[in-house]
């Protein structure tokens, strides 16, 4: 495994986009972890005398509120900093949930084939037959709005991607001779699936996890924007965006800043994902 990561890092270093992605992700993790230390104010604290202040570097701004304040007088910078905690936590939990269930179902479907495979694949077709955000909305509408339900809904809609990728990989790997060799020693199916085959399917899984991270953040933000995700005082970027949309003309920074945050985070994960794909894809590798 160690060599695997060393080699991966060697390949990634050559890809400028991926390195930028890594740096941004690293920075946002640090910001999220040290939010209470670096945020100038409490994100829910209301400054009644400072409603919709522009950022401090624009005329009319107040040095106390670097990025200005929102419509009920909360400090935007602090809210954005705390928002990064939620976004990263959301992305992480979505990926973990989807990764575990998707990997398990994908490995089982690919390995056993037959009826089990068909049942699992029809289930994924069912989820994929609707646009993912629409399906997530349906789930949240049934379960009721809230950040936890939003995470669950988004995780459910991203499971099929994992299932499909893992299944295809397992189907290719299970015919390799090392699998026959393992069978010859009486290895159980469970052992063959998860000890022999799965480690050889890591490459596409890592790529998909990275891309799933950004999808998760984006989808939960979208649900937040629709009022189905994080609720009122919680400083979530999508919810902030939605709250601010009636002030888009008078106070454009209130809309722009959370939007930029979402964009940068999602972009950095996508850059990393693409970089990983280039580094791990054996077909691209052979040409070098």
Partner 1 sequence: MNEILKVSNLDKVYDIKKMFKPTLKLKALSDVNFHVGKKETLGIVGESGCGKSTLAKVLTKLEAKTSGNISLLGKDFDAFNASEFHSAIQMVFQDPYQSLNPRKKAFDIIADPLVINTQKSEADRKELVFSMMKKVGLREEFAKRYPHHFSGGQRQRLGIARSLMLHPQILILDEPVSALDVSIQAQVLNLLLELQQELSLAYLFISHDLSVIQHMSDRIMVMYLGRVVEYGTRDQIFNNPLHPYTKILLESAPSTNREKLEESITVKGELPSALNLPKGCAFEPRCPYASESCKHSVPALEIKQGREVACFEAHA
Name the site residues for partner 1 (rule: CB under 8 A). 1, 3-4, 176-178, 180-188, 191, 196, 199-200, 202
Work out how close the CB of 283 gets to partner 1 at its nearest, in angstroms, rounded to a whole number.
17
Work out how close the CB of 103 gets to partner 1 at its nearest, in angstroms, rounded to a whole number.
16
| φ, ψ at 69 (rounded to 5°) | -130, 170
User: Which residue, 76 or 197, has its beta carbon nearer to partner 1?
Assistant: 197
User: Which residue, 48 or 184, has its beta carbon nearer to partner 1?
Assistant: 184
User: Which residue, 35 or 203, has its beta carbon nearer to partner 1?
Assistant: 203
Place of tokens 């994080």: 230
Angle at which helices 76-112 and 16-33 cross, to 10°: 120
C-beta of residue 241 within 8 angstroms of C-beta of residue 259: yes
C-beta of residue 84 within 8 angstroms of C-beta of residue 31: yes
Residues in CB range of 147: below 8 A, 6 or more apart: 86, 90, 220, 229, 230, 231, 234, 236
Work out how close the CB of 191 gets to partner 1 at its nearest, in angstroms, rounded to a whole number.
7
User: Which residue, 60 or 186, has its beta carbon nearer to partner 1?
Assistant: 186
Residues in CB range of 151: below 8 A, 6 or more apart: 90, 93, 94, 97, 216, 220
Work out how close the CB of 192 gets to partner 1 at its nearest, in angstroms, rounded to a whole number.
10
* Tokens linked to 220: 């939960």
User: Which residue, 90 or 201, has its beta carbon nearer to partner 1?
Assistant: 201
First-to-last alpha carbon distance for the chain, in angstroms, is: 23
* Residue closest to 104 by CA, chosen among 16, 215, 193: 193
Work out how close the CB of 203 gets to partner 1 at its nearest, in angstroms, rounded to a whole number.
11
Work out how close the CB of 180 gets to partner 1 at its nearest, in angstroms, rounded to a whole number.
6
C-beta of residue 223 within 8 angstroms of C-beta of residue 238: yes
User: Which residue, 57 or 178, has its beta carbon nearer to partner 1?
Assistant: 178
* Tokens linked to 165: 């990728």
């Amino acid at each position: 495994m160690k060599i695997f990561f060393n080699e991966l890092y060697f390949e990634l270093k050559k890809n400028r986009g991926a390195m930028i992605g890594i740096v941004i992700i690293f920075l946002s993790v640090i910001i999220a972890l040290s939010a209470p230390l670096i945020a100038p104010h409490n994100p829910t604290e209301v400054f009644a005398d400072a409603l919709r202040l522009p950022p401090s570097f624009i005329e009319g701004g107040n040095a106390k509120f670097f990025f200005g304040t929102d419509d009920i007088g909360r400090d935007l910078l602090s809210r954005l900093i705390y928002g990064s905690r939620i976004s990263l936590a959301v992305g992480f939990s979505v990926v973990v949930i989807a990764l575990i269930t998707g990997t398990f179902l994908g490995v089982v479907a690919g390995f056993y084939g037959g009826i089990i495979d068909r049942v699992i694949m029809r289930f994924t077709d069912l989820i994929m037959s609707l646009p993912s955000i629409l399906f997530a909305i349906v789930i949240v509408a049934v379960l009721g709005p809230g950040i936890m339900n939003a995470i669950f809904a988004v995780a459910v809609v991203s499971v099929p991607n994992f299932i499909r990728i893992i299944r295809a990989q397992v189907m290719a790997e299970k015919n390799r001779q090392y699998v026959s060799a393992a069978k010859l020693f009486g290895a159980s199916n469970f052992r063959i699936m998860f000890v022999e085959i799965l480690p050889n399917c890591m490459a596409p899984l890592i790529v998909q996890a990275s891309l799933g991270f950004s999808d998760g953040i984006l989808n939960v933000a979208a649900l937040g924007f629709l009022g189905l995700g994080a609720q009122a005082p919680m400083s979530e970027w999508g919810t902030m965006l939605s709250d601010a949309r009636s002030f888009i003309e008078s106070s454009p920074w209130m809309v722009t800043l959370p939007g930029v945050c979402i964009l940068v985070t999602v972009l950095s994960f996508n850059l990393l994902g693409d970089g990983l794909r280039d580094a791990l894809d054996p077909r691209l590798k052979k040409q070098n």
